[in-house]
Amino acid sequence: MSLTREQNELLCRIENGAPMGQMLRNNFWFPVALSQKLVADGAPLKVRLLGEDFVAFRSTDGRLGFFDEKCPHRGASLLLARNEDNALRCIYHGWKYSVTGEVVEVPTEPVNAAAFCKKVPLNHYSVREAAGVVWVWIGKGQPKPFPEFEFNSLPDDQVYVSKQLVNCNWVQDVEGGMDSAHVGILHQAWIQQARLGATTDDMAPVYDFDETAGGYRYAAIRNAAGGKKHLRINEYVLPWYSFICPDENNEGDRLTIMSTPIDDENTFHWLVRYNPHRPLSPSLQNPAENPDDFPPGTGGAANRWGQDRGMMMRGHFSGFGHLNTEDFAACESQGAIADRSKEFLNSGDLAVVRLRRLLLDLVREHQATEGNSSGFPHDSMDYHRVRAHVDTVKDESVWKSIR
């Protein structure tokens, strides 16, 4: 499904009250920062979501606060604020905001300051921590159910999270996570290290789909030795979660990609490496020297994202020094916002086509009901059951029973 330009705008734009941005805001929790970046009484952290700026901080007693960046008084940045006594104090005029979102001091108000404090319109938001990640709800009313994926309740040695800024629209990043057809091609130089050998035996997987409450599962079916079929069973959960199967067997480490929309042209790409059975093994994704910048940025279009043509001459397929850099370069090279009206798609793109349709269905439902519904089954969604799988079987028709 190539899109019209109008459909593409509806799908991608999330700033300035755009319909997709409003739907996301009022339906989903956002992963926004690594927990380790927030230190008690430390510097507030700037967070940008949907083209708007916020501050996150950890209070004296360890709780998390999340406010609009601008002080409601005169608009000075609360990134400059003092973080003390379980509150942020704006350094411009000393107004003080508790971690729970209450205005507790206005030193410049001489008459009945306590009553005045109650009138100050401070925007503060619900915050959670899980899997070493700070999550926030910035929507209206009571938060929707938190996404209790199984990685959110694992011990520290069974989950590892890192992130990187990707300079393109968030939908491109989601599409990359659900595109199984590129694995054996773009990443072929890493096949042995990443234990993805079966993906190069058949470069043209056949997709079979199974609708789920919050998205879909699919089997990317490849021909394997001995007349068998190799199955990579991945799962997409709206709006930005891609669950990627283990490398070789179902006891192996799994990967979830999350794509946080910063603004129309920038995205945080999250890698959640986890194992529900045992401690993680070292891999290309963990541990990272700096999990807040992983893999380290290598530039952009001006230097071909650090591509080494000499490596390519010596036999390396892509010329990039890390598997994930290959993904980032391919994603960003499509443009800040890919023009999907010019695409010429094939059968290898069916998973991408399907996620686009689901996202467009959500935002249209949100528009049609004036924001009262998106059609996402919040109350019946079983997040903990979501899990990707890998297998090699004689009869691929059994894949839907593999969980």
- Cis check: omega of the bond before 287, within 30 degrees of 0: yes
Which one, of 168, 163, 181, lies nearest residue 305 by Cα? 168
- Greatest distance between any 2 Cα atoms in the chain: 85
Q: What is the pLDDT of residues 246-266, one digit of tens each?
A: 987 889 999 999 999 999 999
Q: Map out the domains of the chain with their CATH numbers.
A: 29-137 (2.102.10.10), 151-401 (3.90.380.10)
Which one, of 79, 75, 95, 84, lies nearest residue 46 by Cα? 79
User: Which residues have C-beta within 8 Å of that of residue 218, sequence separation ≥ 6?
Assistant: 180, 207, 208, 209, 210, 233, 234, 235, 236, 350, 351, 354
Q: What is the pLDDT of residues 356-372, one digit of tens each?
A: 999 999 999 999 999 98
Instruction: Report whether 391 contacts 231 (CB < 8 A).
Output: yes
Burial call 345-378: b when 16+ CB within 10 Å, e when fewer: eeebbbbbbbbbebbbebbeebeeeebeebbbee
pTM as predicted: 0.95
Instruction: Give me the amino acid identity at 203.
Output: M
User: Within 10 A of 110 (CB to CB), how many other CB atoms are there?
Assistant: 8
Q: Give pLDDT tens digits along the chain (403 positions).
A: 689 999 999 999 999 999 999 999 999 999 999 999 999 999 999 999 999 999 999 999 999 999 999 999 999 999 999 999 999 999 999 999 999 999 999 999 999 999 999 999 999 999 999 999 999 999 999 999 999 999 999 999 999 999 999 999 999 999 999 998 898 899 999 877 766 656 667 888 899 999 999 999 999 999 998 999 999 999 999 999 999 999 878 899 999 999 999 999 999 999 999 999 999 999 988 899 999 999 998 899 999 999 999 999 999 999 999 999 999 999 999 999 999 999 999 999 999 999 999 999 999 999 999 998 889 999 999 999 999 999 999 999 999 998 8
